[in-house]
Structure 1
Amino acid sequence: MTAVEAEAHPAALPSGAICAVAGRSQRQMAEWTAAYPSLFAAPPFDAALYATVSMAMAFSGPWLTADELRMANKATLWAFALDWLVDHEHRSPAEARALVDGCLAVAAGAAPAAGDELARMLADIRDELAAAPAFAELGGMWREELRRTLTAMLREWEWKAAGLTPSLDDYLGNADNHGFCFVFACHWIATGGPAAAGRDRVIAASRAVQLVMRLLNDVSSYRRDLEWGDLNALLLDVPREEVTRRITDHGARTRALLAEARQAQPRLADYLERQLDFCAGFYRTGEYWGAR
C-alpha cells in the first residue's frame, strides 16, 4: 500500500476498537428483538441490518461506549419497525391513524395497549429516557420530534394511498418521515451533558442532516423503492441531476449549520457530522434493509 493509499484508509487500531463497540451493540439488539419478537419477524430485519445500524452509531460516536450508544440503537430499531408497519403492514387509513394515535398517547404517558409491541417498545424507551437528568429540559423536544416523525410517515402513507405524487419540495418538507431527528433526540437525552445549551442551533443542524440523509438514502434505494412501491425523490418526475444538485446545496447549508451548533455543543455537532459522513459513504454501495 502506498502512502497515499494508507492516508485514505482509517487506521486499523481505532477501527478495531469501534467495531468492538458495535459488536456489543449488536448483542444488545439481539436482546431487544427477542423482547419484541413480532416487530422484527419480517425478512428484511436480517443480521446485516443490525450490523450496519450498530456500525453507523459506533463510527459516528467513536468516543462513546456501547451503553452510551444504547438508546440511539434502540430508537433506531424502533423507527425501522415503525416504518415497516406503516409502509407495508397497515392497509387502511384507520389502521395507520390508530398506530399514530397509540404512539402519541404512549409518549404523553399512557400505558401501551395489550398486544401492541410497537407501543410497548416505545413505552420502554420513554421510561428509560424519563430517568435521564436531561429529560426534564428536553422531554418536550422528544415528544415533538416523535410527533413530527409519526405525522410525516402518515402523510406519506396518505399520498401513496391516494395515488398522489408530491413535488420534490413537498417531499423534502416531509423529511421527518426518515426518523433521524427522533432518534437523535433520544440519543441527546440519554447521553446527558448541558441539555439545553444551543438547543435551537442543534435542532436546526439535526434537521438539515436528516434532509440530506433522506436524499442520500433515496439515491441508494431507488431500485428497492421501485420494487416495494415506496416513495423516493427519484420517482417524483424530477431528473437525477436535480436530486444531485439538492444534495450538494443542502449539504453545504448543513455544514454551515453544524459549525454554528458546534459553538454550543461540540460533541453533538461532531456526532451529527459523522452520522452524515457515514451515510454518505455507506449509501454509495449499501443500504440497511434486507430482502423481502
Structure 2
Amino acid sequence: MTGLSAAAGLGRTSALAVACARDLARHAAEHPGLFPARPFDAGFFHSLGLVGAFGSPWATAGELRAVNRAALWVFAVDLQVDHVAKSREEVAALVGDCLAVAAGDAPRGPLTQCLASLRDDLGADPRWRDQLERMLAAMLKEWDWRESGATPGLEEYLRNADSCGSAFVNLSHWLATGDQWTLANLDLVRAADDEVQRYLRLLNDLTTYDREARWGDANALTLGAGRAEVTERMARHARTAAELIDPLRETSPRTALYLERQVGFNTGFYGVSDYWGEL
C-alpha cells in the first residue's frame, strides 16, 4: 500500500468516526439526564466513534450504530451503578428493570428506553440477554466489593471481567452485522472475545489507575495486584486471544480482524488518553 492510499484509508476511517460520533451525540442529547456533560464531554463521543470506526473500517455508519450505541449504553449504566445509585437496593432494582426490558417489558425511564431501542434493533436474541445479565451481575458484584471493602485476588477479579462490557458490546456488533459463519459459531467467537475482554480489562486498569482510584472504581491495582503481575497477565491473555483468533481467519476474516483491532486500537489509545471525561 502506498503512502497516498494508506492516507486515503485513514481519511475515510476518520470520516466514518466523525459520523459515528455525531450519531452518538444526537442520541445522547435525547436523554440529557442520562448523559450529563460531565463526564460525557465532546471528546467522549469522538473516542467512541473512533473505536467503532477503526474496529470495522469497512463498515458504514449505519452498520456501526449497534456497536456504538451498545458501548454508549454500557458507559451510561456504569455511571448509574457506580456513581448515581446510593444503595444496593437501588442497584438491584436497576438491574432488574434492565433485565425485564431485555426480556420484552416496556421501558420505564431513559436508561431502559435506550436499552429497549437496542433490544429491538437486535431482535432480542437470547444470547444477547444472557450476556447483558452477565455484565450487570458483574457490575453488581463490583459494587458489593467496593461497599464491603473486599479485596478479591486477580483470578477472581478476572472471572468478573464481564463488568467492563466489552463482550456485551462486541456481541451486539456481531448480532447486527455478523456474517453467516460468525452467527452460527458464536461460541467459538465469544471464547476468543472473552480473552480479549480480560486483556482490555487489565489494560484499562493499568493505564487509568489514577482516575479510577479517585473515582473509587474497581481496578486490579487498587485491589492489590502489582503492575508486573498485571503486565504479565495481559501478555498471557493477549497470547491466548491470538491463538483463538487465528483459526477464525479462514472462515470469517473480518471477525478475526475486528478482534485484533480491539486489542491494537485500545492499546494505542490508552497510551495517550481515556474514554471518560471528568466527573
TM over 0.5: yes
The aligned counterpart of 1:80 is: 75
Structure 2 Cα separation of the partners of residues 283 and 274 of structure 1 = 14
Equivalent of 1:103 in 98, 102, 107: 98
Structure 2 Cα separation of the partners of residues 178 and 262 of structure 1 = 26
Q: Which runs of 5+ in 2 are unaligned?
A: none
Cα distance per residue 1:50-103 (max 9 Å; x no partner): 101100111111111111111111111000001111010111010000000000
The aligned counterpart of 1:120 is: 113
Q: Secondary structure at the match of 1:11?
A: helix
Shift of 1:265: 2.5
Equivalent of 2:249 in 234, 245, 262: 262
Equivalent of 2:56 in 58, 61, 65: 61
The 1:43–1:269 alpha-carbon spacing in structure 2 relative to 1, beyond 3 Å, is same
Listed as ranges, the matches of 1:151-190 within 5 Å are: 151-190=137-176
- 1:57 touches 1:275 (CA, 8 Å); kept in 2? no
- 2:161 touches 2:201 (CA, 8 Å); kept in 1? yes
Cα distance per residue 1:237-292 (max 9 Å; x no partner): 22210101001111100100111333432211211111111001111121101112
Q: Secondary structure at the match of 2:63?
A: coil
Greater shift, 102-111 or 236-245, is seen at 236-245
Equivalent of 2:239 in 225, 228, 252: 252
Equivalent of 1:33 in 18, 23, 28: 28
Q: Secondary structure at the match of 2:105?
A: coil
Moved beyond 4 Å, runs of 4+:
none
Confirm or deny that 1:140 pairs with 2:100: no
- 1:90 touches 1:96 (CA, 8 Å); kept in 2? yes
Equivalent of 1:280 in 261, 267, 279: 267
Confirm or deny that 1:213 pairs with 2:208: no
- 1:201 touches 1:260 (CA, 8 Å); kept in 2? no
Structure 2 Cα separation of the partners of residues 157 and 42 of structure 1 = 24
Structure 1 Cα separation of the partners of residues 24 and 138 of structure 2 = 26
Cα distance per residue 1:26-46 (max 9 Å; x no partner): 111122012122110151111
Q: Percent identity?
A: 46
The aligned counterpart of 1:229 is: 216
- 1:205 touches 1:261 (CA, 8 Å); kept in 2? no
Equivalent of 1:51 in 43, 46, 66: 46
Structure 1 length as normaliser, TM-score? 0.91
Q: Which runs of 5+ in 1 are unaligned?
A: 1-5
The aligned counterpart of 2:187 is: 200
The count of corresponding residues between Structure 1 and Structure 2 is 277
Confirm or deny that 1:17 pairs with 2:4: no
Shift of 1:11: 3.0
